[in-house]
């Protein structure tokens, strides 16, 4: 017979059920659970699971080692064996003066021959004897002692085979084992229990640095500028760790990991340092390359130790810089013969971030420049839940970054950071920091009390155009360089939609004998076919000017041809800007080419790509020649002005070419 029916909402034993699932009621007598729990590290109240002691096994191993050591030492310290010879043979050797020393105890005589002799034993091979023992007959009356004295034989009073002193026996019998055990215990005491190799001098121990807050030198979010959207993503992690209850009330869970990807110098590591400065939780920082060692298994051991340290002080943050050093996709052609050390380390990271035991309150920040080569298992939700791209800043972002880095630099009244930001398209945070530092160095070298606009202008030239080379060109090379740069500049001025010419110089800088600098007025994020062909035409202007002026060509266009070939090949093979190839991508992105050429592209397609690249370059070169033929006077005036003044800024270049100029100049010295 069925019992009484209990309504689903009726309370039972201090709790209640809803929908068949029992729910606990608040109880002031029960301790509230801690905000962070780490599975496998205790019950959250400081109680850790008991572990079986290994002292018994250690004692047994020590006893076995001592016994083996004693047996081996007994064999080493014991006297060497002696060959028993007849008294007649001994007497013969005495008469031959071949006895070195003897010891006699009763009728037993022991000693050593001076040189090895053969003792016949009745077999085909006689025994070679040096150490001997014999028995003197009791009836012998041969004057042995007088004979030995006459031959100068030493007669000893104690046995040469007596045992070594007790201290020597103990030292040799137990010393090596005790020394080995002592060193082992010393290594164990100096290292933490961080992984299977943690006891061997700490080789398997994590090398992560624990960030210590220093209010005088710490980095905060005020030091991060130009990447506001990324800053907000990371700031949410810090806020969650500070006040988890505000998010938990709504059922939100903290992301396990945040991957910061982007070009070098965009501020990924700086952002991690800002997190360390803002967070009131332990912050562990480590480079991915520090996990890998020559010894197999060390990387996985260091990963375990790092996460164990972070779990014990949860909530905490782990930062892994340059994650691609160990996070490459597995199963590639670079791995031959199964697991290698890098793959074992990666597998351990995957397990620690979302393994069987799990963890709570440990957030992993990672930075990489090559997110496209990371293993897919790293990027799935549950490990790196968020992938944040840190892109190069726009003009407003560059201005904010310049303001951050110029806070400790005394600026003159003529310095306009907005104009500097406009003149530095494509620069990232690290470039701008270097630019401010170069300007300050120039100002100090010139004896200025403040950094002026002229210092910034020269710093931009040094960073963008290169350092001035102290070489003297011959008049012929100098004139040819002037026409070469004039060709670049004139085509940049005449080609519709091209970037304005900002500076032209025939002063050798870096690897170039001359430089023409063009920069857009606003940041560009997409490029049209017309704009790219204009870039190719402008890059071929130097070679075209040399051909029109001198009737031949030089090696000065080497870098121009590299740039032209790269743009044209990407237009055809990646961006679908060729009718012959069509809107398909047949070439891998730069840096991702297959080392064996196994890219899945048919040879005929590659030949077609080459023909299209050649066609585009030849058409652009013909356009460059045609344009310069139509404006010979402007080319000559610009070249002669360059020969006179060596360097022309934006307004001076357009004025020398006789071309109207309506763009806003960005010369920092004006």
Q: Give me the active site residues, please.
A: 485
CB burial string 53-71: b at 16+ within 10 A, e below: eeeeeeeeeeeebbeebbe
Which residues 6+ apart lie within 8 Å of 609 measured at CB? 569, 572, 573, 581, 586, 587
SS3 sequence of 268-304: HHHHHHHHHHHCCCCEEEEEHHHHCCCCCCHHHHHHH
209: which strand partners? 285
Which residues 6+ apart lie within 8 Å of 283 measured at CB? 210, 211, 275, 276, 316, 317, 319
Q: Tell me the H-state helices in 313-416.
A: 341-354, 376-379, 395-405
Return d(Cα 362, Cα 381) in angstroms, integer: 15
CB atoms within 10 A of CB 180: 13
Contact 595, 333 (CB under 8 A): yes
468: which strand partners? 509
Return d(Cα 222, Cα 278) in angstroms, integer: 10
Kindly state the DSSP code that residue 500 receives in the 8-state scheme: P
Return d(Cα 538, Cα 132) in angstroms, integer: 103
Return d(Cα 337, Cα 328) in angstroms, integer: 17
CB atoms within 10 A of CB 177: 19
Dihedral pair phi/psi, residue 313, rounded to 5°: -115, 20
Number of residues assigned to the chain: 670
- Residue from 232, 239, 256, 243 nearest 386 by CA: 256
In the block, residue with structure tokens 């130790």: 305
Which residues 6+ apart lie within 8 Å of 599 measured at CB? 587, 588, 593
The rounded radius of gyration (Å) of the Cα atoms in the chain is 43
> Phi-psi region for residue 101, left (φ > 0), alpha (ψ -120 to 50) or beta?
beta
């Amino acid at each position: 017979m069925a019992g009484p029916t209990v309504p689903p909402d009726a309370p039972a034993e201090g709790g209640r059920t809803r929908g068949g699932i029992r729910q606990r009621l608040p109880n002031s007598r029960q301790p509230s659970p801690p905000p962070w729990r780490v599975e496998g590290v205790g019950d959250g109240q400081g109680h850790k699971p008991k572990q079986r002691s290994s002292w018994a096994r250690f004692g047994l191993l020590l006893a076995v080692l001592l016994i083996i050591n004693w047996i081996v030492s007994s064999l080493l310290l014991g006297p060497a064996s002696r060959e028993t010879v007849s008294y007649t043979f001994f007497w013969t050797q005495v008469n031959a003066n071949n006895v070195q020393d003897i010891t006699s105890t009763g009728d037993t005589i022991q000693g050593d021959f001076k040189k090895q002799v053969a003792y016949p034993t009745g077999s085909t091979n006689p025994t070679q004897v040096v150490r001997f023992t014999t028995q003197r007959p009791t009836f012998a009356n041969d004057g042995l002692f007088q004979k030995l004295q006459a031959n100068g034989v030493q007669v000893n009073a104690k046995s040469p085979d007596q045992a070594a002193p007790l201290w020597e026996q103990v030292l040799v019998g137990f010393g090596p084992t005790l020394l080995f055990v002592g060193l082992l215990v010393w290594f164990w005491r100096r290292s933490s229990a961080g992984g299977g190799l943690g006891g061997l001098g700490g080789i398997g121990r994590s090398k992560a640095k624990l960030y210590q807050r220093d209010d005088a030198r710490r980095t905060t979010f005020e030091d991060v500028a130009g990447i506001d959207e990324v800053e907000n993503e990371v700031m949410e992690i810090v806020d969650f760790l500070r006040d988890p209850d505000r998010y938990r009330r709504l059922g939100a869970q903290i992301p396990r990991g945040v991957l910061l990807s982007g070009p070098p110098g965009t501020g990924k590591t700086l952002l991690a340092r800002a997190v360390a400065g803002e967070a009131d939780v332990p912050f562990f920082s480590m480079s991915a390359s520090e996990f890998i060692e020559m010894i197999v298994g060390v990387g996985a051991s260091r990963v375990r130790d790092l996460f164990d340290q972070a779990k014990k002080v949860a909530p905490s943050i782990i930062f892994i810089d340059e994650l691609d050093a160990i996070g490459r996709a597995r199963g590639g052609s670079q791995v031959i013969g199964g697991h290698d050390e890098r793959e074992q380390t990666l597998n351990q990271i995957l397990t620690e971030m979302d393994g069987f035991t799990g963890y709570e309150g440990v957030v992993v920040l990672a930075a990489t420049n090559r997110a496209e080569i990371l293993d897919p298992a790293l990027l799935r939700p549950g490990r790196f839940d968020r992938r944040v791209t840190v892109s190069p800043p726009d003009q407003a972002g560059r201005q904010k970054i310049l303001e951050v880095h110029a806070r400790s630099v005394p600026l003159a009244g003529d310095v306009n950071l907005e104009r500097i930001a406009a003149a530095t398209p494509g620069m990232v945070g690290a470039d701008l920091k270097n630019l401010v530092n170069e300007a300050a160095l120039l100002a100090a070298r010139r004896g200025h009390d403040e950094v002026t606009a002229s210092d910034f202008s020269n710093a931009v030239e040094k960073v963008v155009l290169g350092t001035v080379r102290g070489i003297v060109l011959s008049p012929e090379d100098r004139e040819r360089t002037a026409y070469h740069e004039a060709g670049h500049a004139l085509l940049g001025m005449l080609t519709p939609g091209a970037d304005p010419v900002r500076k032209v110089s025939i002063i050798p800088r870096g690897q170039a004998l001359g430089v023409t600098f063009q920069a857009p007025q606003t940041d560009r994020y997409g490029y049209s076919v017309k704009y790219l062909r204009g870039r190719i035409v402008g890059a071929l202007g130097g070679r075209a000017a040399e051909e029109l002026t001198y009737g031949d060509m030089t090696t000065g266009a080497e870098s121009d041809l590299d740039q032209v070939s790269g743009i044209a090949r990407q237009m055809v093979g990646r961006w679908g800007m060729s009718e012959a190839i069509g809107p398909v991508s047949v070439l891998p992105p730069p840096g991702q080419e297959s080392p064996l050429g196994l890219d899945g592209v048919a040879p005929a397609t590659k030949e077609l790509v080459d023909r299209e690249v050649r066609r585009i370059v030849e058409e652009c070169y013909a356009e460059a020649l045609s344009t310069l033929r139509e404006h010979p006077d402007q080319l000559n005036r610009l070249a002669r002005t360059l020969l006179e003044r060596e360097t022309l800024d934006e307004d001076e270049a357009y004025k020398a070419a006789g071309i109207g100029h309506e763009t806003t100049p960005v010369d920092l010295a004006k």
